[in-house]
Chain A
Amino acid sequence: MSNQSTLSVHSRTETGTGQCRRLRDKASIPGVFYNAQGANLLFSAERTPLQKLFNKVGLSQVFQLEISQDGEVQQHPAIIRDIQFHPVKGAITHVDFFGVDLTKKINVYIPVEVTGKPKGVVLGGILEIFRDELEVVGLPMSIPEKIVIDVTSLEINHNVHVQDLKLPESVELVFDDNFAVVGVVSPSASDSESEEKEAEAAE
C-alpha cells in the first residue's frame, strides 16, 4: 500500500541470450517494462536492489520505477508482473514490470495470512489453509499487502469462506463460488495418519 519503494534501472539495447548472460555475469538482471498504453522498454537492473524490492513489494504492491535513458530519467508507478529464477541457484534471472495507471483498477493475487490458534485445534482438529493467495481487483494504491484472517473462533468442521472476508472499500475479491479459504478439519478426516499407518504396514 506504500509508494515509498523506488528502483532505478538503466535502459538497454542489447537483446538475446548471449547479451543477457553477459549482463547477469556483471550482477545485472535483464528485464522488460510494459504498460496498457503499449510502451515496451528493455532495461537492466542491479541484482541486490531488485532482490530487496521483490522481498518488500512481492507481486502485488506498487513501487516507483526510474528508468534512465539517454541522460533522462522517466518515472513510472509499476508492479512486478512476472519474475524468473535460476532453477538451481534460485537467483533472479529476468523480471517483468507492468506500468500501472493509478486511477484504473487492476487484478492481482495477494497472499493469505492466518493468525491465532483455533478452538478446534485445541480440541484436536487440524488447521487447513485451502487457498494461499486470493485474486482481488482494486485501485493499485489501495491493494493491501496481505489478507489477514483471524481463526481464533474457528471450531472443528467450520470454515472461513471467501464471502466472509473483509477488505478495504475500493478492493474486491474475485470469485465465482463461495469457496472455503481456511478450515479446521477433524483428525479422522485427515488422511495423513492413515498414510503413516500404511507406511508402517509397508515396512
Chain B
Amino acid sequence: MLSPKKVKFRKQQKNRIKGMALRGSSVVFGDIGLKALEPGKLTNQQIESARIAMMRHIKRGGKVWIRVFPDKPITAKPAETRQGKGKGAPVGWCAPIRRGRVLYEIKGVSLELASEALRRASYKLPIKTSIVFREA
C-alpha cells in the first residue's frame, strides 16, 4: 500500500479541508478520470482498494495513474483508554482531498470499459465523485 518512505515528523495535526483543488484538477495523463466532488480524507487502504477494483475490471492493457498520495499520518488511541496522556500512536496514512481533485486516470482502453472501471472504483471511496474527460 502507498505510504511515505521517510517523514520528518511522526504525527500531524488533523486540520480542516477547505476550498477547491487549484492544482491537479484536470485530466492530464489519461483520457478519462475520476474527480472528487466533496472534500475528505482517503486512506491508503481505500486508494488501494479502488485501484484493485479498477484493475480487475480492465483485466489487461491500459494504464492507470493514481494522482493522490497518502502522506498525512493518522493517529489513534488504544481501545478502553482514558483521555489525556498525549496524542495516540500512528495507525495509518491518508491523503487530504479538496473538491475538484482528480484521483485516478486511465488510458489505453475503450472509454466504456474505463468508465465502468472508474464507477466500480468510486464505490470504494468515502466521497462523492464524478467521471471526467480530458479537455479538448
Contacts and interface: CB of A to CB of B under 8 A. Distances in A.
Interface of A: 54, 58-59, 83, 85-88, 90, 111, 126-129, 187, 190, 192-193, 195-196, 199, 202-203
B95 interface: no
A83 B136 CA distance: 11
Contact of B108 (A88, A111, A128): A128
B59 interface: yes
Interface of B: 1, 20-22, 25-26, 35, 37, 48, 51-52, 55-56, 58-64, 99-101, 107-108, 132, 135-136
7 contacts: A58-B136, A83-B135, A111-B136, A126-B108, A192-B58, A193-B60, A196-B56
Contacts, number: 54
Given A88-B35, A192-B63, 10 more contacts: A58-B136, A87-B21, A87-B99, A126-B61, A126-B108, A193-B60, A196-B59, A199-B52, A199-B56, A202-B1
Nearest to B29: A132
B99 A88 contact: yes
Chain A facing B: main interface SS: mixed
Nearest to B102: A87
Contacts of B37: 88
Nearest to B26: A85
B61 A192 contact: yes
A199 B55 contact: yes
A106 B28 CA distance: 24
Contact of B60 (A58, A90, A187, A202): A187
